[in-house]
Structure 1
Amino acid sequence: MSDGASVAARRRDAGAIFALALAARLAMVAWAAGRFPPTADGAYYQRIAERIAAGLGYTWLWPDGVVTYAAHYPVGYPGALGALYALLGAHPAVAMLLNAVLGALAALAVHRLAARAAPRSRAVPALSGGLVALHPGLVAYTPALMTEGVTGSLVACAAWASARARERRPALAPFAVIGLLIGAATLVRPQALLLAPLFAGLALSGSPPAGGPRLLPSLAARAARAAPVLLAVIAALLVCAPWTARNCLRMNQCALVSVNGGWNLLIGADPASTGAWAPVQVPEACREVFDEAGKDACFGREARRYIAEHPGEWLGLVPRKLAATFDYCGAAGWYLHASNSSAFSEADKVALGAVETVFERVVLLAALVWAARRPAQAPGAARRPSLAQRALDIARLALFALGVVAALHVHAWVGYLALLGLALLKGRALLRAPVLVGAALAVLAATAATHAVFFGAGRYALVAFPLLSGLAALAAARQEAE
């Protein structure tokens, strides 16, 4: 097949993946729209979106009739819903349709990333996109008025922008696109801001594009490489800047996006924590603080004080938090059952959870297979492995075995950490890897680090699932395509 025909075929595949992902999610919306009202955090997002649509801003109406400015949860998702509600009406089905479109875009983005990671194959990109398109956890979460699926989609699109920026170096405009997408994700989930410099760095890594400039020596080269990263970070911050200014004005305290970091840190610093969310235990010092931002600041101070005084106990909670995040997701079944238990019973929840868990463990196993491969040797390299290479091979085998056992057992979080460890053993080869690889590992590492500090929940892992599904499909790619 000629290069032109191959490109055309891949574009048709990409369109088919998007259509498949959208059809699966629209079918879910058609079934769920009249059955499942917003619940849990979704009820809060729905109410805030209704107020935004009515021109009342991000404010909260209390039972006694008092209205206050709020910023407890990030504004991005209810703000987007509010804009749509103002145009189309404040019905949860509108939010579900937004989720469906963004979810389909994630499948498309992963397909395009995989097409760059495995340029000689049509099957690998199709498998990557198909895994995202039909991921049971992602598809069934479409009716949920929650933020994790939306964040995962925005992050996948930002990774796609990173791959395009790598191809178009030294142009700076694509790095601004990375920043804009990460900025949008930050307004939905603030910790996404960490990905702006990482994704920009991924665009700068790898081999220079054909005919592009080689690395210049000296300070000028370092400045030239720093500028795109700085541009991506600034663009992300500029997306958030109007909301940050609003918080400084209305909340009596500046906050980049939201004022719940102190709450979450305190929940994750409770010595009785199971690692998951629990009602906050209000410290004595904060009982008379009623201002929303002030209370969050007080909670943060008390949490940091506890951590400084009991670092060992706090670190001992990390395995519980990671287990709560990665061992079992089940977010879709949990939401549907909580919303309408008569339409989605406990047995339905368990069945969906089982299907989703098997799917996610297979994805993890495939990703481990990819990561366990020894990097391809450069032409002319010595065929006989050195002592250091043998030691690496032993470490690689041990981590792979640990990851497989964990993936087949209860504690999948150990398998995800083993995946990160195996990837690091690739050494400098990891710097030359496709953007899909680096982005998937970066999101996984950022998710693990974030919830090791705060607290865990299965739904938080959804953010990493689109890119991890794409990475898993690379196990089927030829070694030289990686």
Structure 2
Amino acid sequence: MSRRPLDPRERRSLAVVLAVAAVARAAVVLWASSRIVPTADAVYYHKLATRLAAGAGYTWLWPDGVVTFAAHYPVGYPWLLSLVYRLVGPVPAAGALLNAALALAGVAAVWDLTRRSAGLRAAWLAGLLAALDPALVLYTPALMTEGVTASLLALAAWAAAVAHDRSPYGTSGDAPPPRPWPWLLAAGALLGLATLVRPQCVLVAPLLGWAAWRARGSLAVTGAALAVVLPWTLRNCTRMGRCALVSVNGGWNLLIGAGPNANGHWAPVDVPPACREVFDEAGKDACFGEAARQMIAADPGRWLRLVPARLGATFDYCGAGPWYLHDAAPDAFPDAAKVTAGAAETLIHRLMLAAALVALARWPGGLRRTRLAIGAAGVALALVRPGWVAYALLAALAALVWASGRPRSFVAAALFAVLGTTLAVHAAFFGAGRYSLVVFPLMASAVGALLTARPRQGDTAPHAPDRDGRGGAAASPGHRERPVALQRREDRAGNPG
């Protein structure tokens, strides 16, 4: 990986990529500003943010005038919205601009993460893919959590990559490595904020930390993430009558995925008899969770048989942005536009998926035949309707590349951390196309880094990318990554590498 400052060509590349991303999102926000109103969950995020901005706290005003503390929806995104609403008022278009600003930061993170791993040409490709991804661009006006989460996860992966670059595992030469701790803590803080937006992001922290600096990195990143979340957890313990890490909707979501109406997608909940007289928000969620666990225990086969449907709902079809635009303004964005845009998004992501599978399958290192077989099966499945299996195979390939310990495999580690946890969470609960959005920025990085600048067999150590944008040397096939500084000391002492 590279720690050197950006040279003029790299600065121009980043500027162009960010300009493309900004123009694409500005055009969508400008079109949507007078047409699109909050819809679905965005209605609640907007109202909660408005109350936060007005100083009413994270509370809900009921039709009868009663005000109660809230925790059903995670606080992170309403809190971010409230910061903007305090400045300009509760205007949904201001929230869309917030989404766009965070998206630009995420695109920059994808660009630099890829540059550090594979050089400038790879960064061009990955950056432009993230900048122009139609699923992410069309979702910009949506006051929803998935686009913001995608950006925060990309930023956290970038910070963890910088930490890895500054650890003994990413440093070449005889000088002691710069301290990775500030970057580990930054990655953890970003993941803490992402957890406040979408609680399952906490699962990414130990994986990204391990990729950055093994056990010490895992402890640092996870600890920092939990430290960011802890004040809100304590608030829930005090205000909600029950302790909850971020929100009290896990029981609801488990019941949606396991109840009588469960079909893999969102489905209306039939309130269990035991919960019909429970009106407390946290108590009802706990009751729903207990009822769902009892249903799973009574018929685990049914719950397991729905796993393909849950993952299919998450990965088989995109279309979250077109759905939101149509639902908010069906006259301005008719059904035909929704279907066409959704189909285009799905096609583009299937092509990206196939490219990432090919790249990971061909990556030098151990288990090459196994990876080629998995990659071939994944590419075939990427071109048919049940695409979720291909995404699962992509996660497996990313894990194999990461486990090889080869230099410049950090992009694969980050992709596995996000894609693997997304697969696991939605296999257990329920799925929707918008939940896959968090994966796309890092998949863009994988396509750029792993296709454009594939390392050469026989190389031995990571170096900065050379002037034409190609990455430097990589470890020989099958070599387990180890601290480069330690390797140099052993070489001088005459010990085997």
1:86 is aligned with what amino acid? R
Q: Does 1:294 align with 2:283?
A: yes
Q: CA distance change for structure 1 residues 427 and 93 in 2, over 3 Å: closer, same or farther? A: closer
Which residue pairs with 2:382 in the alignment?
407
Measured in 2, the distance between the counterparts of 1:187 and 1:350 equals: 32
Which runs of structure 2 are paired with 1:64-83 in the superposition (5 Å)? 64-83=64-83
Measured in 2, the distance between the counterparts of 1:247 and 1:27 equals: 40
Q: Does 1:437 align with 2:412?
A: yes
1:229 deviates by 2.4
Measured in 2, the distance between the counterparts of 1:334 and 1:430 equals: 41
Which residue pairs with 2:266 in the alignment?
277
Q: Deviations over 1:152-173 (max 9, x none)?
A: 0000000000111112224322
Q: Does 1:167 align with 2:165?
A: yes
Q: Deviations over 1:277-298 (max 9, x none)?
A: 1111211111111100000001
Give the alignment partner of residue 140 of structure 1, picking from 117, 129, 138: 138
Which residue pairs with 1:322 in the alignment?
311
Q: CA distance change for structure 1 residues 75 and 401 in 2, over 3 Å: closer, same or farther? A: same
Q: Deviations over 1:349-406 (max 9, x none)?
A: 01111211111011001001112115248xxxxxxxxxxx6xx61x434322321221
1:424 deviates by 4.0
Measured in 2, the distance between the counterparts of 1:186 and 1:427 equals: 24
Measured in 1, the distance between the counterparts of 2:374 and 2:83 equals: 48
1:190 is aligned with what amino acid? P
Contact 2:402/2:410 (CA < 8 Å) preserved in 1?
no
Measured in 2, the distance between the counterparts of 1:365 and 1:407 equals: 6
In terms of mean alpha carbon deviation, does 271-280 or 317-326 score higher?
271-280
Alpha-carbon RMSD: 1.8
1:126 is aligned with what amino acid? W
TM-score, length basis structure 2: 0.86
Which runs of structure 2 are paired with 1:174-213 in the superposition (5 Å)? 174-204=183-213
Q: Does 1:153 align with 2:151?
A: yes
2:7 is aligned with what amino acid? V
Q: Does 1:231 align with 2:220?
A: yes
Measured in 2, the distance between the counterparts of 1:85 and 1:171 equals: 36
Which residue pairs with 1:217 in the alignment?
none
Contact 2:402/2:409 (CA < 8 Å) preserved in 1?
no
- Give the gaps of 5 or more residues in structure 1: 205-224, 378-388
Contact 1:420/1:441 (CA < 8 Å) preserved in 2?
yes
2:301 is aligned with what amino acid? G
Q: CA distance change for structure 1 residues 401 and 194 in 2, over 3 Å: closer, same or farther? A: same
Sequence identity percentage = 54
Q: Deviations over 1:149-193 (max 9, x none)?
A: 000000000000011111222432211111100000000000101
1:90 deviates by 0.9
Measured in 1, the distance between the counterparts of 2:347 and 2:218 equals: 38
Measured in 1, the distance between the counterparts of 2:130 and 2:216 equals: 33
Measured in 2, the distance between the counterparts of 1:4 and 1:174 equals: 16
Contact 2:211/2:217 (CA < 8 Å) preserved in 1?
no
- Give the gaps of 5 or more residues in structure 2: 168-178, 457-470, 475-497
Which runs of structure 2 are paired with 1:27-176 in the superposition (5 Å)? 27-119=27-119, 122-169=120-167, 170-176=179-185
Contact 1:322/1:448 (CA < 8 Å) preserved in 2?
yes
Q: Deviations over 1:28-64 (max 9, x none)?
A: 1111011000000001101111111111111111111
Matched position secondary structure for 1:268: helix
Measured in 2, the distance between the counterparts of 1:440 and 1:425 equals: 12
1:79 deviates by 0.8
Measured in 1, the distance between the counterparts of 2:52 and 2:235 equals: 14
Q: CA distance change for structure 1 residues 239 and 141 in 2, over 3 Å: closer, same or farther? A: same
Q: Deviations over 1:290-327 (max 9, x none)?
A: 10000000111111112222222111110000000000
Measured in 1, the distance between the counterparts of 2:121 and 2:361 equals: 21
Contact 2:59/2:67 (CA < 8 Å) preserved in 1?
yes
Q: CA distance change for structure 1 residues 475 and 456 in 2, over 3 Å: closer, same or farther? A: same
1:271 deviates by 4.7
Which residue pairs with 1:339 in the alignment?
328
Matched position secondary structure for 2:236: helix
Matched position secondary structure for 2:60: strand
Q: Does 1:303 align with 2:301?
A: no
TM-score, length basis structure 1: 0.89
Measured in 2, the distance between the counterparts of 1:230 and 1:417 equals: 27
Query: Number of residue pairs matched?
Result: 444
Measured in 1, the distance between the counterparts of 2:180 and 2:455 equals: 30
Matched position secondary structure for 2:35: coil
Measured in 2, the distance between the counterparts of 1:236 and 1:428 equals: 24
Contact 1:71/1:258 (CA < 8 Å) preserved in 2?
yes
Contact 1:29/1:93 (CA < 8 Å) preserved in 2?
yes
2:289 is aligned with what amino acid? G
